Each structure stands twice: as C-alpha cells, then as structure tokens.
Structure 1
Amino acid sequence: MHTLLPFLLAMVAAIVLLNMWATKLKIAYPILLVIAGLLISFIPGLPVVKIDPDLIFFLFLPPLLFEAAWSISFKEMKKWWRIIGSFAFLVVFFTALSVALVTNHIIPGFTIALGFLLGGIVSPPDAVSTGAITKFVKIPKSTSAILEGESLLNDASSLIIFRFALVAVGTGQFIWQEATLSFLWMVIGGVGIGLLLGWIFVQAHKRLPTDAPSDIALTLIEPYFMYWIAEQVHSSGVLAVVAGGLFMSSKRLIFLNSASRIKGYSVWESFVFILNGIVFLIIGLELPEIVDGLRSKGIPLGTAIGYGLLVTGVLVGARIISSYAAMVTTFIFRPSVAPRATSRKRQMLMPLLLGWTGMRGVVSLAAALAIPVTLADGTAFPYRNLILFITFVVILVTLVVQGLTLPYFISRTQLFVGLNAGKEDETGHEIKQKLRQHIYQFLKSKYDNELQGNKGMEKMLHHWEEKTKAADDDWMNDKTKAIFVEMLESQRQFLAELNKDPSINEETIRQQLYQIDLEEERLKII
C-alpha cells in the first residue's frame, strides 16, 4: 500500500500535467496519456498495475456513463434518433460481425465466438476521445449530438454482444431462443430498473433535507447502485445507468438547488477527468505484461501487431461504409431530415468525417480487461492476451492516427465553413432578449406598485436590462431579495417552456440556466 499510494498520486499529477501540455499543443489529452502510459511502463521498479476483471466494469463504467447521460441533450437525441439508433445498434452489430468473420478467417484457431467477443470489445467509439479532439475545431451542434448520443448507446449494445460472446466461449454453445429472451430481459429490465431507481433517487433528493455536499455525494453513489442492482437480476447495468441518468438529468431543475447544480458540475467534471485519465494511462501501463503473455503463448510480436492493424482497418472500413449507407438510406426514405451542406462535395465528405471519428478508448479497455483469466473449468481463457493486445493496438492507432488527423481533415476540407454560421450566437442573443422582455413583464404585472418610486426595484430592472452590477448592495433588502429569487425561478420556468421549441439548441438553454444559478448563488452572499 505504501508503494502503490505514491504511484497513484503520481499518476493523477501526471494526468493533470499531460492535460495542460495537450491543451498547449492543441491535441486531445487521451493521445498523450496513452503514449505516456506506454513510456512510463518501461521505467524499472514501478509496481505492476493489476485490476480484478470482475471489478473493472463496476469501478469505471457507472460514473462515466452517468456523467455522459447528464451532459447530453435528450432533446437532440430525440431529434436525431434514427441515425443515433442505427449507429448505436445496427452499425455496432455490423462492425462486430465484420471483425468476427475476418479474425475467424485470418487468425489460426480463432473461433466465431472469440471473433464476436473481440468485435464487441472494439466496436464502440469513445465519446471522451471524440469530445477531446473536436473541442479544437468547430463542428455543428447536430453532429456533436449525433456523436454523443451514439457513444452513449453503443456502449450498451456492444457490451451486450460482449456478454453473449463470453457465454458462448465459456460454454461452447449458443442457443438462440435463450439468447433472445435474455437479450429482451437485459434491455427491458435494464431500462426499467434505471427509470425506477432514477425516480426513487429524485424523490429522495426532493424529500430529504439535503444540502449541496450531500446532494453531490448521493449523485456519486447513485450510478453504482443502478449498475449493481441491475446486474444482480442479470439485466443490463449499462442500460440501467444510461436510462436512470437521462431521467434524472431531465429533472435536475426539480430536485437540485442552484448550489448543488453549480458545485456538482465542478466535482463531476474533475472526477470524470481523473477516471478517464487513469484508464488511458492504464492502457499504456498494461502493455508490457500483455506482451509477456503473448510470448508465453508463442505468438510473435510482429504477427500480433499485424492482427491489430488488420482489425483496426476493418473497424475504420466498416464505420465508413455504414456512414455512407446511412446517408443513402436517409436520402431515399427520409430526405427531409438529410444533412445539409453548402455543396455536393461537402455533402459527400460528411459521411467520411463521421466514419473517421471512431476513436476507441475507455469502454474497449474496460471490456478487454474484464475477460476472465480462466474459464469455469479452470483452464486458461483462450487467446486472452492476444485479444488484449489487439485492443491496445486498436486504441493506440485510432487515437493517434485518427485523433491527430481529424482536426486537420475538418479544417482542410472546410466542411462546416458557412454551415449554420452565426446561427447559434444569434439564437443565444434572441433568448437573452426574450428573457429580458420576460423579466420586465413579470415585474410589471406582479409588482407594479413596488416599481413606482422604489429605487431598489428600479435598480433591479436596470440590472437585468443592462446586465450591470450595482455599485452598492444596500438596496438589496429582504423584500427585494425575495422578489429577486422569485424572478429567477420564473426565468427557469420560462426557459423550460422555451426549450420545448425543437429549433432551439438545448445547450444554449443550459448555458442560460447556469447563469441564473450563478445569479442566485451571488445573491446569497449579498
């Protein structure tokens, strides 16, 4: 413990420093973390990092999925549900099938079940990597929503494939009838448990006398409860966390106060950043042990690298083919929702961009590490080290090659230049104008008498119309403060109604709600 604790603290410090360096270089921090982990692993005397395969999912996945469900816009997911659904389920299955067929044909002794196991591991793109890379280039909110929605759901679909393949490898058989019933229970049970627990947690936050620290502490343990309970009844813990997280996210204005929302955002941002950083470092740190395992099985390193590059090529090719197939299908059956571009060339390049965003990361590593060391009969799990190595190669190549070239590809092709240019800023400005009008009408209709000759009320109006802070705080008496708080709550309700407009991006609404929360917190210290 005395050896491991300094090492873990050093890992966190390295994550922070590498993130700052990545920001300065304007590249995604997962790229540097993977390479750094690989380099650090060659330092002699470091403790071997080993995680129990049974705990890897439970430790990392619940909070990462829960935070992703809170961050994504459910309204945007509904708007683009067709393409999100196709990429999250159909494309994942097509990718896993492609990997299974190719590896079964190329790798000696590699069965179809092992191929599906590997395909389930490497098929889901990583949202963290994509988000970290695309923050350095401007892409439309619609494209961002599709990538985020896909990454949230494809984790569940790929892990379902992984689980069934794991059973097939362990038992040597696959019964379709049982698999179908099990699949339905995993989906329906997982979603149902997540929604039920999400509702219970919302009620607990509302009815218990919680404050910001206790609210945040509860949100940190809630995804673990969702995942664990769903897994205990053999349904999908991943779907339970996603469904529960989406439900609680939609109710955040009801059961969390402004302090809990503001402080919780910072806590969760730091927590998830550290979790992601540790996982990406582990990817590199695990490689020497994986290579030793390959050598013990008599598999040449060059051959294993070739297998990894082959699988990477299959993944990239399958995703690009799927992207163009989705575009053609959309133009045929739903031309009204087809993606818009300023030229035919750009329209044809968009699926290529979507296909090139398939960086792999946290979920793939977690799934690979979760493969048991031995089967139920005590024999070694077949090809475990090779699967781990191929997964590492896929993560490294997609992160470094696609991750470094994606920003250049976007800027070089100028895909999004002139596309919705200034529209988001204009929408934000319109919302601010509507808010000012709403505030004025609210005060005039409810507190018209107090407005007459009341300098405090006049300053309040001036504050919201001109967005300037008063030079002195003596005007904010108890009566004025109560009206101010009521006015802020009225703005939240107004924005919630405004968010029902499908043409308004939810991210813009959330930014305004965050500003309102900050105003309420500032009011408490006056």
Structure 2
Amino acid sequence: MHDNALHETILLVLGLLFAMLLLVMLSQKLRISYPIFLVLAGLGLSFVPGLPLIVINPDLIFLIFLPPLLYQAAWDTSWKDFWRWKRPIALLAFGLVFFTSTIVAYVSSSMIPGFTLALGFLLGGIISPPDAVAATSVLKGIKVPRRVTSILEGESLINDASSLIVFRFALAAVVSGTFSWHQATTTFLLVSGMGLAIGLVVGYGFYLIHTYLPTTPSINTVLTFLAPYVMYLLAEEFHFSGVLAVVSGGLLLSYHSHRIFDADTRLQTASVWTSVGFALNGLVFILIGLELPVAVQSLGNYSLRQAITYGLVISAIVIVIRMVWMFPAAFVPRWLFRSIRTQEASPGWQGPVIIGWAGMRGVVSLASALSVPLLLSNGQAFPQRNLILFITFVVILVTLVFQGLTLPAIIRLTGVADLEERMPTDEQEAGIRLRLRHVALAHLARHYEEDIRSNEMISALQHRMQAEAQRTGNLLEALDYDESKRRALQRYHQVLLDVLQVQREELMVLRREDVFEEEMLRHQEAQLDLDEAKISHMPH
C-alpha cells in the first residue's frame, strides 16, 4: 500500500513537471511571462474533474524549494550593485515589509469579524514580501535601467527574511495570546544577526573545501547544492533565520567564485543551476494555481463572496501601500542628505513607479500561509486559518496576474528605456574584450619576447590575439551605427556560423569512421558549442 502511494506521488510530480514544461513553451509562444501563465494554468487544471486534490506539506516547500532558490538568487546578485543600492534595498526589504504588515494588521482586524490584531500581523507577514522570480521573469527582455533591476533583486533577497520574522512573532503571539514589542525587537536582532553569522561561517567552510581539497567540476557542482541546505538547516536548528543564512553564505561564495572555481566548473555549475532553478520555480508557480480548491473548501464560516471581497480589498491595499511608500523612500533621503544628492543621480519618477508596480507575490507567501498550524497548543483549531490561506491566494493571484500582465505596458508608458544612462550592453562587451586582448598582448610582448621569436606556436598565439583585437576594434566601430559596417558585421557572423556548421558535419563523419575516441570528439564538439555561443551573444 505504501509503495502504491509512493508510485502515485512520483507519477504526479513527473506529470506536473511535464505539464509545466509544455505550459512554459506555450507561454513563450504567447509571449506571456511564465510565472503568470503557470499560475493561471494551475488554476484551470484545478477544475479538471478527476484530478486528485493536491495538498502541499509547507515544510517541504520551505525545505525543498526555498534554500536553492534563495541561493541561486544570491549567487546571481552583483555584490557591487547590492552594496551600491543598500539604502533603497533596506528601505524596501525592512521598512516596507514592516509598514505593510502593520497597515494590513489594522485594516484586516477592523474589517473582518473575529480577526484579532495578532492575526492581522500574521496575515501582513505572509503577504508583505514580493516574489523575485516573478518580477525578473516579467522584466526579462524589457529594457529597464540597471538601478531598477538591482534594487528589485536586492530587495527580494532580504525581504523574505524580514517577512518571515514578522510571521514568526505574530504566530507566537496568536498561540500564546501575548506580545511584547521590546522582546520582539531583541529577538529580531538576534534571529537576523545569528542567521547572517551562521551563513558566513558555513559559506567560509565551503570556500575552504572548494579551495584546498582536490575537487572536480562534478564534485563542485554537487557541493553548491549541499551548501544552501546546510546553511538553512543549521540556522533553523538553532531557531535563527535560515533565509538570511542562505543569502549571506550565497553572497560570500558568489563574491569569491572566480578564485574557487575553474572555467570547467563555472560552465557546468551555471548550466546545471539554470535548469534546476527553472524546474523548481515552474513547479512552485503551477502548485500555487492548483491550491485553489484546498483554499475554497476550507473557508468554513465565510461565504466565497465574503472571502473574495476581503481578498480583493487587501490586495488593493497591498498594491497602494507599495506605490505610496516608493516616493518618500526615494526622495526624502535625497532632501535630507546633501551627500546622497551629489553621489547618486535622481531616480526620477519612472524608477519608483516601476519598482512599486513590480511587487508581485509568490512562493514565500504561499509557503508561509500553508505553514500556519492546524491546531493551537491547547488542541483547539487555529483561528481563521482557512480565511488567511484564501486571502493569501487571492493576493498572489491579483498581484501576479494583474500587475504582472500590466507591468510591461507601464514600463513602456514611462519611457524609461530612453533614459538608460549606461553604455549599451553591446558596446560594454566589446570594450571589455578589447581591454583584455590589449593586456594579454602587452604581457606577451613584455615577458615572452624570446619565445615569440623562437617558438612558432607562441608566435601564432600573438598573431591570433592581434587579429582578435583588430576584429573587436572593428566591432566597436560598427556599433557607431555605420550601416555599411553593420552589414559587414552581420555577414561576418553568418560566415562564421556557416564554417562552424561545416565543422559539426565533419565531426559526424569522423564518428562514422570510428578512428577517434568518442570522448575526444565530444570535447571538440563542446569547443564548437562555446565558439557558437560566443558569436550568438555578439550583436547582430
């Protein structure tokens, strides 16, 4: 009997994974951001007759999904950008989370019969953190200033921790019936500080393993999957913030990745993490949609109409609070401190509008709502649990679908792409490559002059680098919008791709001849893949 249940669970997971992949492909065809499409599709699937009711264990979401997703986000975050925009990030991740939780607490407790202030804070802690994946997925392919994406990425790293801490205190207040601001503040500082410390200590331990032990790319890749779970579980074991532990440890290892990983490890780890992160995110978003029947069936004393009304009102409040918060948070520090005015460009009105509208809720809100216990310590049913779950679901649905679908249009209306202050990406890439070529050529000329004269291979290396530097220089010139040079560049790319295709076909011939070992042929094929990837990332 147990084996049958296990087989059914595995089949269900595989079925969901396959359905998720098909839906993502369809969302790309329809040009809709995949988190939004998956939630709507999950919602549609939940009405299919005969489909089993999927009840998620919240501990599984926190344990299986949260550590790797946070770790990947920390790994992908630029430490330089994170530190540069630390003030707006902190104002959003801490200030806005506490402000949202407080407003939601007072509004919900006065609007909903039988809803106490502690339950209001519990709901506020659940629905206050926006989802990182949803925002970055919607913004993918849309030109927005780096400042906007950096602040959104930084906020999403830390706001999960602050909202979960609010949630934890409110839960304790509901269960015990008492609440102390002094005790809550002290505990908050302890939980946050120790979470950060544990993450840094564990991260440094993994840094030593990567650096001093004889690892391989495969071992390093597996270690990167172990790290977030060790950080999270160790911090949670001592009742500290597992989220902040994963974030701090991930940022530490990410900052030192160029020292601890070789090229093969970086290539392998990046591709594996991209695939796993995509699969985990996709599953979570489709599960959000599939949870609707669970939320509806559990309403109990409230009619569906009442519950939807509460959910829509609180969704509107959450959206308005974020928009209202953005402008004082962006401009008041500039008015108060002259140093900020001189060191930072003005965000204008466009940046705050985009960041404000990108507050879509997702996985952490769902997991928090599901983790509310069914019973109090005295054995009584947890008050209003089912309504909290339903309101959370409505807030996720409204913010994700409504804000997510309208965000691209709002970005276009702001005209923010025209205000991009940075050097274009194409020009930056070409400029970096040219600088690296010049450094390499100068190093060869300074230290290997005799080798260049006597060793044909080293001489050929110098000639190749000179040719590459010349080619990159031509590319930079072509980016000055000279139409004839652009056409020449496009033709150059076409010829290069054609040559690579001929080489691939020759590899197939070599396979059939059975003269060379398969491993060697695959190695050459991987080299062709890298060459082609290099071309495909160049401007066309």
TM-score past 0.5 threshold: yes
Q: Does 1:434 align with 2:435?
A: yes
**Aligned counterparts of 2:197 and 2:280: Cα–Cα separation in 1:** 27
Task: Name the counterpart of 1:195.
Answer: 200
Residue by residue over 1:69-123, the C-alpha shift from the partner in whole angstroms, topping out at 9 and shown as x without a partner, is 0000010011111111111100111111111111011011111111111111111
Q: Secondary structure at the match of 1:417?
A: helix
Post-superposition CA distance 1:3-43 (Å, at most 9, x none): 22222111111111111222222221011110111111122
* Count of residue correspondences: 471
C-alpha contact (below 8 Å) 1:330/1:337 kept by paired residues: no
User: Aligned residue for 1:336?
Assistant: 342
1:159 aligns with 2:160: no
User: What's the counterpart of residue 279 of structure 1?
Assistant: 284
Identity %: 46
Give the 5 Å matches for 1:2-13: 2-13=7-18
Give 2:265's aligned residue.
260
Letter in 2 for 1:209: P
Indicate how the Cα distance of structure 1 residues 284 and 313 shifts in structure 2: closer, same or farther if over 3 A, else same.
same
**Preserved contact between residue 136 and residue 407 of structure 1 (Cα < 8 Å):** no
Counterpart in the other structure of 2:397? 396
Alignment of 1:322 onto 2:325: yes
Structure 1 letter corresponding to 2:221: I
C-alpha root-mean-square deviation of aligned residues, in Å?
Answer: 2.2
CA contact (8 A) 2:104 2:121 kept: yes
Inter-partner Cα distance in structure 2 for 1:309 and 1:373 = 25
Residue 131 of structure 1: aligned partner: 136
Equivalent residue number for residue 209 of structure 2: 204
Q: Which residue of 1 aligns with 2:381?
A: 380
Report if aligned partners of 2:105, 2:121 keep a CA contact under 8 Å in 1. Answer: yes
- Residue 34 of structure 1 contacts residue 280 of structure 1 at CA under 8 Å; is this kept in 2? yes
Tell me whether 1:313 sits opposite 2:316 in the alignment: yes
Q: TM-score, normalised by structure 1?
A: 0.85
State the distance in 2 between where 1:102 and 1:425 align: 49
CA distance in 2, matches of 1:160, 1:19: 33
In structure 2, the partner of 1:225 is 230
Residue 380 (structure 1) shift: 1.3
User: How far has the Cα of 1:287 moved from its partner?
Assistant: 0.8
1:265, CA displacement in angstroms?
A: 0.7
The letter for the 1-side match of 2:349 is M
* Counterpart selection for 1:29 from 13, 22, 34: 34
Q: CA deviation at 1:418?
A: 4.1
- Name stretches of at least 5 consecutive residues in structure 1 with no aligned partner: 342-346, 474-514
**Cα contact 1:194–1:243 (8 A) shared by 2:** yes
Deviation sequence 1:44-74 (CA, Å, 0-9, x none): 2223322323333112111111110000001
C-alpha distance in structure 2 between counterparts of 1:90 and 1:355, whole Å:
14
Distance, in Å, in 2 between the alignment partners of 1:364 and 1:25 is 27
Structure 1: how far apart are the matches of 2:110 and 2:411?
36
> Structure 2: which amino acid aligns with 1:116?
F
Note the C-alpha offset of 1:208.
2.1
**Which deviations, in whole Å up to 9, do the C-alpha atoms of 1:227-262 show, x marking residues without a partner?**
111111111111111010100111112222221111
Q: Hey, which bits of structure 1, 4+ residues long, moved more than 6 A? A: 468-471
| Superposition deviation, residue 160 in structure 1 | 0.7
- Map Cα deviations across residues 481-513 of structure 1 (whole Å, 9 max, x no partner): xxxxxxxxxxxxxxxxxxxxxxxxxxxxxxxxx
Question: Which residue of 209, 213, 219 corresponds with 1:214?
Answer: 219
Aligned ranges 1:66-145 → 2 under 5 Å: 66-145=71-150
The CA deviation at 1:453 is 4.7
Aligned counterpart, 1:492? none
State the alpha-carbon separation in 1 of the partners of residues 404 and 228 from structure 2.
30
Structural mapping, 1:485-524, within 5 Å: none
Kept after mapping to 2: 8 A contact 1:126/1:358? yes
Deviations 1:323-353 (A, max 9, x none): 1111221330222355447xxxxx2343222
C-alpha distance in 1, partners of 2:344/2:312? Answer: 33
Q: Could you tell me whether the CA contact under 8 Å between 1:23 and 1:29 is conserved in 2?
A: yes
Return 376-385 or 226-235, whichever deviates more.
376-385
